[in-house]
Chains A and B, each alone.
Chain A
Amino acid sequence: EAQVTQNPRYLITVTGKKLTVTCSQNMNHEYMSWYRQDPGLGLRQIYYSMNVEVTDKGDVPEGYKVSRKEKRNFPLILESPSPNQTSLYFCASSRTELGLANATQYFGPGTRLTVL
């Protein structure tokens, strides 16, 4: 089954404790993104990657890191989480650039993160 998986689905942590949210897709997609979703603010892109070893900042990259060492994986790293990073996080992937033919973006199920 074609899918984007994220782990963990729920996480409660404390300020300053480094954490990683994993994302994996089994569709051989080149494009992957991380979003955060907050009430009243919609979806905001954190980072995106156009291929292995190619990443770039989205709209709200501060406090986050990413890496793309393999095509299927795109982990999101919070080196020193703070309460303002409490949010619902989504990973997404697409075969190619959005807007081109067959460039559907698939989202993972989300990770709800609470930073105390």
Chain B
Amino acid sequence: QQQVKQSPQSLIVQKGGISIINCAYENTAFDYFPWYQQFPGKGPALLIAIRPDVSEKKEGRFTISFNKSAKQFSLHIMDSQPGDSATYFCAASNAGNNRKLIWGLGTSLAVNP
């Protein structure tokens, strides 16, 4: 039973375009929603994270949009670059589960030059 559903599984975007990856969750107790970026041959690295008391968080070209009522959150990559080509994972956690991260299955993003 997957508690965090991520879509799409893969995404191809042209350079300069906007990449959008979506995640939906079921557990309303989740209170921490990070996005991780993983390049081939590397471990995942925290990209940006949000808590449910805000609806949006922006760091450079990366923005998380959070919709608490819909139980959805998304990652937007503005002005996508070939260097953004990687696999992106969303995740969620809550204090009631020892803060264990529940992971989405990942989105493979390819940005064409």
Whether both chains belong to one complex is answered with yes
Interface of A with B (CB < 8 Å)? 4, 40-45, 48, 50, 56, 58, 90, 92, 97-99, 104-110
Q: B46 touching A99 by the CB < 8 A rule? A: no
- A74 CB to nearest B CB, Å: 14
Partner of A99, one of B44, B45, B95, B104: B95
How many of B's residues come within 8 Å of A, CB to CB?
Answer: 22
- B57 CB to nearest A CB, Å: 14
In the bound complex, CA of A108 to CA of B44 (Å): 8
Given A42-B89, A43-B44, A58-B100, 14 other A-B contacts at CB below 8 A?
A40-B105, A41-B105, A42-B103, A42-B104, A48-B98, A97-B98, A98-B32, A99-B31, A99-B94, A104-B46, A106-B45, A107-B43, A110-B41, A110-B42
Chain B interface helix/strand/loop/mixed: loop
- Give the residues in chain A near B100, CB-CB below 8 Å: 45, 48, 58
